[in-house]
Structure 1
């Protein structure tokens, strides 16, 4: 059996929103159902945090990036991500 890489083993969870992989079904025209997963749109982002005075690397979903843009990088500290 082949070992999984570190990227495959890490949990796909957003640090801000907490979104994780969802499960559901593909439904064919004949109404046949097969299992599938809904992956989170994850991005690794290097963010400057002024109150810490350094860059921090965080894994966020697309929604989490929008939240970060809206609230600023200091929000990561108050949210307990860092």
Structure 2
């Protein structure tokens, strides 16, 4: 499965880990994703989605209406 947030579209980013000796090593920075079952009131069912921590805060604040639009 891909490591992409359904709501915000966050994806892995690539960069360097830099040591104290200034050695650069390429690395992949993963988004903070969680698999959640969320109740969609409009469809009267649970939906299993991968969400970032920021997306969970957005849903807590605004509700699941925005998520329901994306899943249709």
Does TM-score exceed 0.5, indicating one fold? yes
Give 1:64 deviation, angstroms.
0.8
The answer to whether the 8 Å contact 1:16/1:81 transfers is: no
Take 1:48 and 1:66, find their aligned partners in 2: how far apart are those partners?
15
1:81 Cα shift? 2.8
CA RMSD of the aligned region, Å?
A: 1.0
Unmatched runs of 5 consecutive residues or more in structure 2: none
The ranges of structure 1 where at least 4 consecutive aligned residues each deviate by more than 4 angstroms after the TM superposition are none
SS of match in other structure, 1:56: strand
If each structure's strand is expressed as a fraction of its own residues, which one has the higher value? Answer: 2
Instruction: Report how many residues are paired.
Output: 72
1:11 aligned residue: 2
Aligned residue number for residue 67 of structure 1: 58
